[in-house]
Amino acid sequence: MKPEPLVRAVAAEKVYESGPLSVRALQGINLEILPGEMVAIMGPSGCGKTTLLNCFSGLDELTSGEVYVDGKSLSSMTDKQKTEYRAKRMGFIFQSYNLLPVLTAVENVELPLLIVGHPPKQARATAMMIIEQMGMKGWEQHKPSELSAGQQQRAAIARALVNSPAIVWADEPTGNLDTDTSRQIMQLLKQLNVGNRQTFVVVTHDPAVSEWANRILKMRDGRIVEDTAAK
Amino acid sequence: MRDTTLALLLVAVVFTVVIIAAARRRVLLRMSLKNIARRKTRAAIVVLGLMVGTALISSAMVVGDTLEYIFTEDVLQRWGQVDEVIGTQSAGVYLNFTDSYYTVLSQDLASRNAPIDGIAPGIVQRLTIRNELEGLWAEPVSVIGIDSALEAGFGSLITTEGSSVATQDLVQGQVYANQRVAEKLSATPGSQLRLYFSQASFVVTVADILGDKGTANLDKQQIIIMRLDEAQTRFQMPGRINFIRVSNTGNEEDGIQHTAEVTAAINSIMDAHGWNPATRPRVAEVKQQGLDDARGFSKDVTQVFFIMGAFAIVAGILLIINIFVMMAEERKSEMGISRAVGMTRGQLTQSFLFEGAIFSALSAFLGSLVGLGLGSLVVYFFSVVFPISDRGLTVTFHFEISSLVLAFAIGVLITFFTVVLTSWFVSRLNIVRAIRGQPEPVPRRTTLLEASVALLLVLGGVAAIWLRSYPPANIASIPLLILGVMIGSLRIVNPRYTATLGGIGIIAWVLGPKFVESNEPDIYVPFVTAGLLLVLGAVLIVVFNSSPFLRMITRFGAKGKAHPVLKTSLTYPMSKKFQTGMTLGMFSLIMFAICIISMIQGMQGSAISNQIPQQTGGYDLVAHTTEFKRIDDANWSRGMQESGVSEYIESVSNATVVPVGVLPPGNTKTIPYTLWGVDNVLLTTNEFGFRELADHYYDRGGQYHLIQTPRDAWTALADSDELALVDGNAAGGTEVSPAEGELRLEVGDRVSVVSYQTGAMQNFTILGILQQSLPGTMGLFVNQQVVRGNYSMTWSAYFFQLRPGVSARFVADSLKSTFIEYGYGLETVIVAEVLGQVIETADRVLLLMQAYLGIGLIVGIAGVAVIMVRAVVERRQQIGVLRAIGYTKRMVMVSFLLEISFIALFGSVIGIACGIVLAYRVWSMFFQEVTPFIIPWLHLAAVALIAGVATVLATASPAVRASKTPPAAALRYSE
């Protein structure tokens, strides 16, 4: 039996209005993402990859159409509900890591737990555990500016995973990294995907990254033009 | 008119250099202009922040301009064409002299071609007048006798209808009344007025009402004008006058340029004729003196506003630094790219400077105009808290263009040089790190820049020690050394330890014994320096030591979702120590100034209430005759019985009073003062307090007596004819009433007292200085027999202690209306009213100052809001991340508000703590004797609360905007 999709989009449209110009960033997207999938979204710059990620994760709103996450319509949720949903069920990884520069690595990682109300001690213990898993033990009290790019992205991944989210949205997670570090990061994501059966949606234009995915979506001009299972 | 030459010259030099540099590097200028144009909102915010200092400078100057204008106009209206008055005035009464003095002076001045265009004799008497028909009284009224034929140079007498009249038009028994007295008495042409003089009275008819101008407005009195010859007859002064007015060549304003020459000529004529210097009339440079006082007063007020505003101006400078550092940070990657494509560090500094120069000029221009608005607000407050229109003054907002120009120039220079330093500092970046937007790493060794700054500070400290005779240099010397050592050792010792030790060192130095010598003539400048250093020390300690404290707050202060909010809000300020230090310093300085004023206000109020018995002597009412007349015992008893107030009176003391000239030791010129011969009742019943007292005296028989209590000092007056006690004013004033005269006597001084009537001289030794210096009871207090035995023309004064609950006003009115019937005009001083006025005035000054600082606070809060707006823009991406990982809108907003609340809270605590500590130091040095140390906690808490709430409200808008930023848009954002 086919499992219930974790994310389902129906005729999703997103139009950016800028003065007299309007840009159709997403055009009639219909898509289902199943639990445990690792999906790579590829395409040239400006094709709508990041917009899709933002709209499907509830960070942005569609102009028309609908996105269901865990069977719930995002458009029917209030901002507070969406925020709560993101905090509990989603993780985010960004190209430029986006760690809070004023917090240490461990403080960055434990933040999502604190947001959902975990006691600080427990949050710190969980954060330390995941930091160790990420191979960053000994660096936990360092601020982002004192970490290498790879370390920063590991800390960002730890932050994305600390809540054991059902789905992790990753926007060009290796965009700022060298080849070796990129491979290590993707290996890590793949282990988590397989080991924890966590769903990963990775936006990338790097074919080497897409090789780690078990499904590849190719986009052009706001449409999904190809949906293939990885080799 | 302020001298703007130097300031404008400096501005011209600055802009010439900038323009030449811009012409040589047009591309840099274009970049600067584009930077301003492409971020219009940000440019507006920057200009707003930069104009703070200029606005405060400009407002202080404008307030000074307005006050100078008001008081100068008052002097010109008061004296009209009169530049000098020849006569001897004591306690408001002119002593008469032969009219031949006038004849001689007018002839000789003419023969010497003295620069005068008018000289006129006159008689002036202060009398009580009644309009019997209306049952209205007016007192004191100046009844002036003049001869219009001799009034050339002083302008005609003009009626309210506009027609010109002269005293020659008056017949016997006719007078002119000025508008002021006519209104008081409801007098119209034809009204009959009764004038009370000596033990008789006479009736005159009002021929016409004169407008309050020229001679009819002399000293802004209630005036009745009569013929000089009739005044001589009525006031029993045949062949005598009591004042001569002199008008110098020129109009009302420029006549004073001849004052010194005319005064010298008059004195020379008097000397040439051998007139006794002790008894001859004195020349009073009334207009020159009045204008000097007006200008001095407005200068003092401007200075006080500058000093209190100095804290806000420094806060404004910190804001400028903050804004430019933030600007540099947000443009860091752009600057890195510029450097990468070949721009030198110098060119980068220049491009910042061009932008800074444009911002400086624009903000200084707008700031000087905003200062105009602030100034008008202060003037408005001034007119509300000081109802000076009651004193015949008109509040007219006035400013000199030169003040605005000067404020503009100072503003440009302060802003520009702050920008120069900041630009140079921020241009020192690493290209790669700047492009990547990474922060500069903390250097492990002392950098060349740090070493240079440290060296400069140490050298500055050494120079300040060398210049320590100048108080601000003395105070700043050791702190400069400390700061130099601190910066020099930043990379050697943990910065937290160096900054903490440095902070403690600075505070200890400022509060140490060297703070300021108690005999320092001008405490203001060292006070400002001390305040700035104290706040600097405290900010250093707080900024470098608050992390553990804040971690503790985060750990225990909030549970659940509040925990991460508290954490982010506290971590941001603590991780940006420089920016936080600047913002804290800015807020603390303003709170410090407000705290100091509140403390002074509280302690002054307490000092005054503590001193009420010492000031009043325990008396409720003082009454004295309006002319040289002693009420004899029979008339006194009769009057008291008639008035029906005896039953309300607990006790009455009396004094015999006479105007005299006092010759202090070492002086050659006598100073008009009042001699009070006090009776035994006063000696034994008064409660006047002493500021200073001798420890012994010798009685008439040469016997030695110890003075152990204030009563002993009063008893001494009965035991000796050569001892005197003086009021506080004669020794330099008190906190209740600052000194107004020229006398500066000390205990033990031997002074000569000269009789204006006979020229006879008598010597007294000053035994004590009284606390009291209330108008109406100032003078030298001696044994009554001394005055009665040596002076024929005296007046009587009475000191009343009333029964509890009795209205002093009622008793005063009853006494006046009864004794006038016996021919004794009485002037009364209701002590509580006078003291109340003194207290009220002192209170109002401080209230006005608080209002001014309140404006400073608004500006400071606006500055914090500017920083907040910048912080929201700067952290936009981070807001996006927070929203993505689960921060609700509310959490984002609360996080920003908490952050700013902590700044406001810490700023308030630092400012108030420093204020209390410095106030304590000042109190322990100067005021310990007169008042207990009082901390107006409630008041301070209210100010802190208002400041805190206002800050949160002012920053609410950017915080709300931050919370409303859609997460995707925030993540996409790059400035």
For chain A, state the CA radius of gyration. Answer: 17
**pLDDT mean over B907-925:** 88
The pTM score is 0.73
| B211-215 mean pLDDT | 87
Q: How many residues does chain B have?
A: 975
pLDDT confidence bin for B227, thresholds 50/70/90 = very high
CA angle B139, B292, B401 (to 5 degrees): 115
| Residue B393 vs residues B68, B76, B289: alpha-carbon distances, Å | 12, 12, 18
pLDDT of residue B518: 46
- Contacts B882 to A, Cβ<8 Å: 100
Contact at CB, B568 and A100, closer than 8 angstroms: yes
Determine the pLDDT at residue B733. 53
CB contact under 8 A, A103 and B561: no
Alpha carbons A159 and A110: distance in angstroms, whole number: 7
Share of chain B above pLDDT 70, in %: 93
Subunit contact A145:B441, Cβ cutoff 8 A: yes
Q: How far is B438 from chain A (nearest CA, A)?
A: 7
Calculate mean pLDDT across residues B467-493. Answer: 86
Residue B734 has pLDDT above 60, yes or no: no
Closest by CA to B415, choosing from B523, B337, B494, B322, is B322
Rounded to the nearest angstrom, the minimum Cα separation between B524 and chain A is 42
The C-alpha angle B153, B155, B159, rounded to 5 degrees, equals 165
- Is B888 within 8 Å of A117 when comparing Cβ atoms? no
The mean pLDDT value for B383-408 works out to 77
* Chain A contact set for B889 (CB, 8 A): 79-80, 83
At B207 the pLDDT is: 94
Residues A158, A134: contact at Cβ < 8 Å? yes
Looking at residue B119, its pLDDT comes to: 93
B954 pLDDT higher than 50: yes
Is A101 within 8 Å of chain B by CB?
yes
Quote ipTM for the complex: 0.86
Per-residue model confidence as pLDDT tens digits over B780-816: 999 988 888 888 777 788 889 899 888 888 998 888 8
Alpha carbons A32 and A7: distance in angstroms, whole number: 6
Are B567 and A107 within 8 A, CB to CB? Answer: yes
Question: Is B772 in a helix, a strand, or coil?
Answer: coil
Contacts 24+ apart (CB under 8 A), A180-185: A181/A149, A181/A150, A181/A153, A182/A206, A182/A208, A182/A209, A183/A208, A184/A150, A185/A150, A185/A153, A185/A154, A185/A157
Q: Which has the higher per-residue pLDDT, B391 or B475?
A: B475
Shortest CA gap B887–chain A (Å):
7
Find out whether B318 and B586 touch, Cβ atoms under 8 Å: yes
Chain B residues with CB under 8 Å of A26 CB are none
Whole-number pLDDT of residue B262:
94
Q: Is B576 on the interface with A (CB under 8 A)?
A: yes
Q: What is the pLDDT at residue B739?
A: 46
Q: Establish if A112 touches chain B: CB-CB under 8 angstroms.
A: yes
pLDDT value at residue B91 = 61
* Span B328-334, average pLDDT: 75
Query: Among B561, B891, B966, whose Cβ lies nearest the Cβ of A60?
Result: B966
Are A107 and B571 a contacting pair at CB < 8 A?
Answer: yes
Query: In whole angstroms, what is the distance from residue B70 CA to residue B383 CA?
Result: 11
**What mean pLDDT value characterizes chain B?**
83
CB-based contact B677:B813 (threshold 8 Å): no
When pLDDT is cut at 50, 70 and 90, the band that residue A1 belongs to is: low
Q: Are strands B780-783 and B671-678 parallel, antiparallel or unpaired?
A: parallel
pLDDT-derived band of residue B975, with 50, 70 and 90 as boundaries? very low
**In the predicted model, is pLDDT for residue B740 greater than 80?**
no
CA distance A2 to chain B (A): 30
Distance between B560 CA and the closest CA of chain A, angstroms: 4
Number of CB pairs < 8 Å for A and B? Answer: 92
Q: Which of B473, B459, B480 is nearest to B514 (CA)?
A: B473
pLDDT at B949 over 50: yes
* CB contact A80 to B (< 8 Å): yes
**Residues sharing a CB contact under 8 Å with residue B16, sequence separation 6 or more, in sequence order:** none
Cβ neighbours around A148 below 10 Å, total? 11
Q: What is the pLDDT of residue A67?
A: 93
Q: Distance from B340 to chain A by nearest Cα, in Å?
A: 20
Nearest to B678 by CA among B632, B723, B634, B741: B723
Q: Report the C-alpha gap between B799 and B64 in whole angstroms.
A: 41
Residues of A with CB below 8 A from B564's CB?
A: 111, 114-115
Among positive and negative, which fits the CA dihedral A140, A141, A146, A152? positive
Residues A75-95 have a mean pLDDT of 88
The interaxial angle of helices B332-340 and B286-330, nearest 10 deg, is: 70
CA distance A88 to A86: 6
| Residues of chain A with C-beta less than 8 angstroms from the C-beta of B571 | 100, 102-103, 107
| Chain A interface includes B333 (CB < 8 A) | no
Q: DSSP assignment of B884-947, as one string?
A: HTT--HHHHHHHHHHHHHHHHHHHHHHHHHHHHHHHHHHIIIIITTTS-----HHHHHHHHHHH
Interface test mutation site (partner A, options B333, B877, B885, max chain A beta carbons within 10 A): B885
Q: Report the candidate in B536, B353, B527, B338 with the shortest Cα–Cα distance to residue B922.
A: B527
Is A83 at the interface with chain B, CB within 8 A?
yes
Q: Which of B578, B584, B444, B587 is nearest to B499 (CA)?
A: B578
Determine what percent of chain A is predicted with pLDDT higher than 70. Answer: 99
Buried-exposed string B157-184: b where 16+ CB fall within 10 A, e elsewhere: bbbeeeeebebeebeeebbbbbbbbbeb
pLDDT surpassing 70 at residue B584: yes
Q: Tell me which DSSP letter residue B159 carries.
A: B
Segment 408-467 of chain B within 8 Å of chain A by CB: 438-439, 441
Structural contact between residues B689 and B771, judged by C-beta atoms closer than 8 angstroms: yes
Of A55, A80, A86, the CB nearest to B884: A86
Q: Which residues are CB-neighbours of A39 under 8 A, at least 6 positions away?
A: A33, A199, A200, A201, A202, A213, A214, A215, A216, A217
**Average of per-residue pLDDT across B255-273:** 93
Which residues in chain B touch residue A165, judged by CB atoms under 8 angstroms apart?
A: none
Q: Which residue type does B246 have?
A: V
A101–B441 C-beta distance less than 8 A: no
Strands of the sheet containing A38-42, edge to edge, are A90-93, A167-171, A199-203, A38-42, A215-220, A223-229
Q: What pLDDT sits at residue B522?
A: 61
> What pLDDT sits at residue A11?
93
pLDDT band at B515 (very low <50, low <70, confident <90, very high): low
Mutate to test the interface with B, among A67, A111, A163, A172 (most CBs of B within 10 A): A111
Which residue, B682, B677, B700, is CA-closest to B788? Answer: B677
